[in-house]
């Protein structure tokens, strides 16, 4: 229920996509504290809007979009509200829907920076334990299968996968690799099923050291207009990421885990090319914001890996993206 309010922008986005005009329509979308600047607390409410703006910016050139996030601290006085309103009005359009955070009269933009592996290794965060016990949510999907195999072959780990398909499904049987991997059928968009799945995985393994969330739905079509996306389809793609991420965290919040790792996508950023599938873009921007919001108060590290595009996750639709550098 907490994530369902995020579906509201879908009908609005479809209505906007139907607008006909002889010049681009100005569109400013403003959220509050969905981004963390300089380590400040953030939340997930409204964060799916950022992904929808990415889509609207790239779906057509009918919109001159501004994708902005503001701080509640700047809205506490009439003067502060006036200053924020002026900054929103003065913000130039962003052709790709780039997200800008306005804080204390300053303007912040996202960018990619290289990470030194040596510095990352020295951060003191827990890694994969040799022989550790792990649950992989979405483990029968392409990325989940790769990760599960890596955990077993490189680390001697014990793995239980959680997925929506029945164990008799050929894709699931292949993912379980002849019984090396355990399996629990569950739809984690349902909070009760998420709790039961984590409990079942913990019981099967005799404990849990970490959980990896790789849940996603397969993208079955090429680039498309938002008007062609039904609400049921939007909900399916969105909920797997948004509701699933929330429910899995709630299911493990009291567990003494080494870590919880969410698998996301570079499409969670405007420069990642999120303009092809509105619901997926909205789902991952919400899920990433949720992970950022719970990380500081969690008893264990909560991380996000924003993968590039996996060819197999697109299926036959990969042919529609000849210039995209797919991960194989």
DSSP letters, 98-132, are: -EEEEETTEEEE-------HHHHHTT----PPTT-
DSSP assignment, residue 50? Answer: H
Q: Answer yes or no: is 328 within a domain.
A: no
3-state secondary structure of 148: helix
Determine whether 162 is exposed, middle or buried from the number of CB atoms within 10 Å of its CB (0-12, 13-18, 19+): buried
Q: Look over the chain and give the mean of its residue pLDDT values, rounded to a whole number.
A: 84
Q: Do residue 97 and residue 17 come from a single domain?
A: yes
For the domain that residue 209 is a member of, what is the CATH number? 3.40.50.720
Angle value at C-alpha 67, between 5 and 327, nearest 5 degrees: 85
Most confident residue range from 89-103, 117-131, 223-237: 89-103
Q: Do residue 104 and residue 142 come from a single domain?
A: no
Q: Answer yes or no: is 327 within a domain.
A: no
Q: Answer yes or no: is 117 within a domain.
A: no
Q: Do residue 95 and residue 147 come from a single domain?
A: no
Q: What is the pLDDT of residue 63?
A: 81
Least confident of 16-25, 146-155, 171-180: 16-25
Q: Do residue 73 and residue 149 come from a single domain?
A: no
Q: Do residue 76 and residue 201 come from a single domain?
A: no
Q: Answer yes or no: is 123 within a domain.
A: no
Q: Do residue 147 and residue 105 come from a single domain?
A: no
Using the 3D structure, point to which of 46, 75, 109 is the last residue of a domain.
109
Q: How does pLDDT run across 163-197, given as a tens digit for each residue?
A: 999 998 888 888 887 778 999 999 999 999 999 99
Q: What is the pLDDT of residue 26?
A: 86
Q: Do residue 150 and residue 87 come from a single domain?
A: no
> Global pTM?
0.85
Q: Do residue 159 and residue 201 come from a single domain?
A: yes
Q: Do residue 272 and residue 301 come from a single domain?
A: yes
**Given pLDDT bands bounded at 50, 70 and 90, which one contains residue 316?**
low
Q: Answer yes or no: is 122 within a domain.
A: no
Q: Answer yes or no: is 325 within a domain.
A: no
Q: Which residue range forms the structural domain that includes residue 143?
A: 130-320
Least confident of 141-150, 195-204, 307-316: 307-316
**Given pLDDT bands bounded at 50, 70 and 90, which one contains residue 4?**
very low
The CB density around residue 300, as the number of other CB atoms within 10 Å, is: 16
Q: Answer yes or no: is 124 within a domain.
A: no
3-state secondary structure of 183: strand
What is the total count of domains within the chain? 2
In the sheet with 25-32, reading across from the earlier edge strand, the strands are: 25-32, 63-70, 99-103, 106-109
Q: What is the pLDDT of residue 58?
A: 76
Q: How does pLDDT run across 232-246, given as a tens digit for each residue?
A: 777 888 888 999 999
Q: Do residue 166 and residue 242 come from a single domain?
A: yes
Q: Answer yes or no: is 125 within a domain.
A: no
Using the 3D structure, point to which of 48, 78, 109 is the last residue of a domain.
109
Using the 3D structure, point to which of 109, 143, 165 is the last residue of a domain.
109
Q: Do residue 262 and residue 164 come from a single domain?
A: yes
Q: What is the pLDDT of residue 217?
A: 67
């Amino acid at each position: 229920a907490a994530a369902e309010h995020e579906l509201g922008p879908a009908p609005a986005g479809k209505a906007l996509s139907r607008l006909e005009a002889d010049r681009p329509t100005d569109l400013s979308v403003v959220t509050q504290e969905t981004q963390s600047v300089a380590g400040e607390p953030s939340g997930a409410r409204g964060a799916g809007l950022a992904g929808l703006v990415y889509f609207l910016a790239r779906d057509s050139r009918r919109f001159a979009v501004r994708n902005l996030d503001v701080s509640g601290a700047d809205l506490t006085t009439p003067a502060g509200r006036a200053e924020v309103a002026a900054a929103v009005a003065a913000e130039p359009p962003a052709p790709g829907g780039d997200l800008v955070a306005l804080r204390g009269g300053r303007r912040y933009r996202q960018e990619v920076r290289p990470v030194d592996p040596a510095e990352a290794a020295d951060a003191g965060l827990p890694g994969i334990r040799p022989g550790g016990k792990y649950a992989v949510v979405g483990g029968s999907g392409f990325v989940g299968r790769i990760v599960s195999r890596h955990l077993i072959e490189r680390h001697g780990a014990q793995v239980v996968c959680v997925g929506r398909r029945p164990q008799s499904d050929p894709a699931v049987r292949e993912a379980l690799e002849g019984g090396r991997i355990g399996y629990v059928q569950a739809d984690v968009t349902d909070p009760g099923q998420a709790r039961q799945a984590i409990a079942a995985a913990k019981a099967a393994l005799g404990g849990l050291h970490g959980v990896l969330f790789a849940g996603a739905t397969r993208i079955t079509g090429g680039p498309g207009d938002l008007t062609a996306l039904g609400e049921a389809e939007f909900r399916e793609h969105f909920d797997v990421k948004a509701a699933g991420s929330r429910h899995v965290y709630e299911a493990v919040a009291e567990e003494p885990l080494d870590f919880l790792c969410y698998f996301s996508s570079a499409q969670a950023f405007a420069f990642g090319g999120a303009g092809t599938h509105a619901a997926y873009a909205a789902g991952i921007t919400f899920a990433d914001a949720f992970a950022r919001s719970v990380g500081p108060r969690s008893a264990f590290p909560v991380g996000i890996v924003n993968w590039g595009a996996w060819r197999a996750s697109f299926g036959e639709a990969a042919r529609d993206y000849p210039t995209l550098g797919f991960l194989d």
